[in-house]
Structure 1
């Protein structure tokens, strides 16, 4: 089987959770199923003649996804879609900063996305047919077109499918296989050592959606040290400056993005990992931190409760006091080994690979291959 992965053009320049998801899914499928080969190409006009199917990622950027979908349909190839979907209305109206926040409060969600499309088309270099269509047809319409054309959906959780049904009310039955977000157990799993854990940690891109600014505010007055690890895109320098300014009132250290080896060491120092995002599905850093011996504070938005159940501490992203209380509760509690065991048993990249291949074979009406003994 030969599969082509297609996703946003800046997947490697502006890295995020979807970057890790794509690379790790490819790595583990090819290692577990030697007869499956995967290529990655963001060309919306790619020649698909040598591929059995196309796997497309991310409904949140429909201006690109719809072009991949239509190219596959034109060339007679079936498509699987990793939805990576959440509706960000609340974030745009309450979690954004500056002028964008106030404009978003006065207009509809689709109008908001059209404005973003106009910015991308005329300012951010995304001057292509997909962005022009988003501006003309609307964000929701483009997402609905994508759903109608996809042969199989691969959401990260049941919550994504429920939200898709509620928003789009699709006429056809949605064929889907839940494929979990995951961790590399060989890198991050370790025994907790409470004696050397004395920091609160947050790993993630520095941006309003990840909500580090409210986390810094929540830490003010607490005796814990907060370490923020990540990087800010050039469009988020205003937010990073606001973080630095707020950090003067608390014990906060801001460090650059790290590789897996450095990150493993940082997780080993943390007693608590916090991701108070405006939405997450569920946040790869939370999964990594949990198996690395940290208690977890997670947002109530997204699919976090589907993954962590009662084994995490939850906070309201817009409520600084809620974040503070969750951090204190998690810091003062003993390590929750049940959460670590649950993630290791259910949310590893090997399982992600197996569920993804199960979906491919179902869609192509093929017998599932056996996992390689090697």
Structure 2
């Protein structure tokens, strides 16, 4: 079975959660050995050289950035499509209604020569024969905001690389020279991720903030504002498979991700796998029952709430084994097997029939 995976052309021009998700999905599916499942050859598609029709199935990551054209092309070639849309949970019924109204107005004003990004995402969702949501909030957003039948939606989380479960903070402590408690923030340096908001909220709390990630050219001024703030230390970009990253998670007192919105952020899963508690935005698809002792979800603009949550977890850290146990089911072998079963289920259906629960 030949599976092609792709997303928008500029995806790998920078590094982030989606890039890691795509690479890890391909690697985990190719490593999969399950007698109940067919062997799969999974590869990243080069749309400039590879024909979609040469694949048995196409898995598209992200419903934005023109990816509806990929779904359309695969459908025209008779190749079934699985779509991981990565949609924000903020899409509810009211937001979907407003977006459809805006799309109709834009169409009428431009003689239907302009289409909104909402319409493009909805088109991709409609054409895909199976849709994978990263959590129940994203599934609900797909249903309510985009009016997609729940019958063709599956809920499967991101996977976590095994080495994060065995991470130790000694390497980071040695390299950084930090011996005491600190707050870690991993991800792109940008106003959307809101590093500066949290740094200001923690002013005077006695907790240094360590930043890992890069800033695009437009956000260099934002990065400089962070670096001119007392107690902030920037390590630049650290590769996902670098042992220093896993060690930084394990060494941190708290991981913070107070961004304006996330789907299912890998940084949060990886920090929890290393045994480190998390304070993150409440605009997310992540749901972990019984996780309140180690996972606090606070409004991105609630600085006072973020400060209380970070300080509480730093002052009384939860037991690391209990934190790791929260995400024990998110191992890549489990997730890859579930994705593979979705592929097999879809390919077993007659052409033109969507998956049913």
Pairwise TM-score range, normalised by the shorter structure: 0.7 to 0.9
Q: Distance in 2 between matches of 1:138 and 1:148?
A: 15
- SS of the residue corresponding to residue 136 of structure 1 reads coil
Give the CA deviation at 1:330: 1.1
Contact 1:153-1:174 within 8 A present in 2 as well: no
Match of 1:93 in 2: none
Matched, 1:341 2:343: no
Matched, 1:56 2:60: yes
Greater CA drift, 37-46 or 325-334: 37-46
Contact 1:59-1:83 within 8 A present in 2 as well: yes
Contact 2:52-2:74 within 8 A present in 1 as well: yes
With over 3 angstroms needed to count, the CA separation of the structure-2 counterparts of 1:49 and 1:314, relative to structure 1, is: closer
- SS of the residue corresponding to residue 152 of structure 2 reads coil
Q: Distance in 2 between matches of 1:304 and 1:76?
A: 34
Relative to the length of structure 2, the TM-score reads 0.82
What are the within-5 Å matches in structure 2 for residues 316-327 of structure 1? 316-327=299-310
What are the within-5 Å matches in structure 2 for residues 69-218 of structure 1? 69-86=71-88, 136-170=114-148, 172-190=149-167, 198-218=181-201
Match of 1:258 in 2: 238
- SS of the residue corresponding to residue 21 of structure 1 reads helix
Match of 1:15 in 2: 15
Give the CA deviation at 1:289: 1.2
Match of 1:239 in 2: 222
Match of 2:268 in 1: 286
Greater CA drift, 334-343 or 14-23: 334-343
**1:365 paired residue among 335, 348, 355:** 348
With over 3 angstroms needed to count, the CA separation of the structure-2 counterparts of 1:308 and 1:36, relative to structure 1, is: farther
Count of aligned pairs: 323
Higher helix share: 1
Q: Distance in 2 between matches of 1:256 and 1:88?
A: 30
Give the CA deviation at 1:111: 11
In the TM superposition, structure 1's runs of 4+ consecutive aligned residues that sit over 6 Å from their partners are: 108-113, 191-195
Q: Distance in 2 between matches of 1:69 and 1:166?
A: 21
Unpaired segments of 5 or more residues in structure 2?
92-97, 104-111, 350-357
Q: Tell me how large the CA RMSD over aligned residues is.
A: 2.9
Q: Distance in 2 between matches of 1:303 and 1:173?
A: 16
Give the CA deviation at 1:207: 1.5
Contact 2:61-2:85 within 8 A present in 1 as well: yes
With over 3 angstroms needed to count, the CA separation of the structure-2 counterparts of 1:85 and 1:215, relative to structure 1, is: same
Give the CA deviation at 1:258: 0.9
With over 3 angstroms needed to count, the CA separation of the structure-2 counterparts of 1:162 and 1:45, relative to structure 1, is: farther
Give the CA deviation at 1:58: 0.3
Q: Distance in 2 between matches of 1:324 and 1:161?
A: 31
Matched, 1:302 2:306: no
With over 3 angstroms needed to count, the CA separation of the structure-2 counterparts of 1:201 and 1:307, relative to structure 1, is: farther
Matched, 1:269 2:246: no
Contact 2:278-2:296 within 8 A present in 1 as well: yes
With over 3 angstroms needed to count, the CA separation of the structure-2 counterparts of 1:207 and 1:274, relative to structure 1, is: same
Give the CA deviation at 1:74: 0.8
With over 3 angstroms needed to count, the CA separation of the structure-2 counterparts of 1:177 and 1:88, relative to structure 1, is: closer
Match of 1:371 in 2: none
Report Cα offsets for 1:11-39 as digits up to 9, x if no partner: 22112111111111111110114821112
Give the CA deviation at 1:112: 10
Contact 2:157-2:264 within 8 A present in 1 as well: no
Contact 1:215-1:323 within 8 A present in 2 as well: yes
Contact 1:196-1:269 within 8 A present in 2 as well: no
Q: Distance in 1 between matches of 2:134 and 2:217?
A: 29
Give the CA deviation at 1:266: 1.6
- SS of the residue corresponding to residue 137 of structure 2 reads helix
Q: Distance in 2 between matches of 1:261 and 1:137?
A: 45
What are the within-5 Å matches in structure 2 for residues 18-37 of structure 1? 18-33=18-33, 35-37=39-41
Give the CA deviation at 1:328: 0.5
Match of 2:355 in 1: none
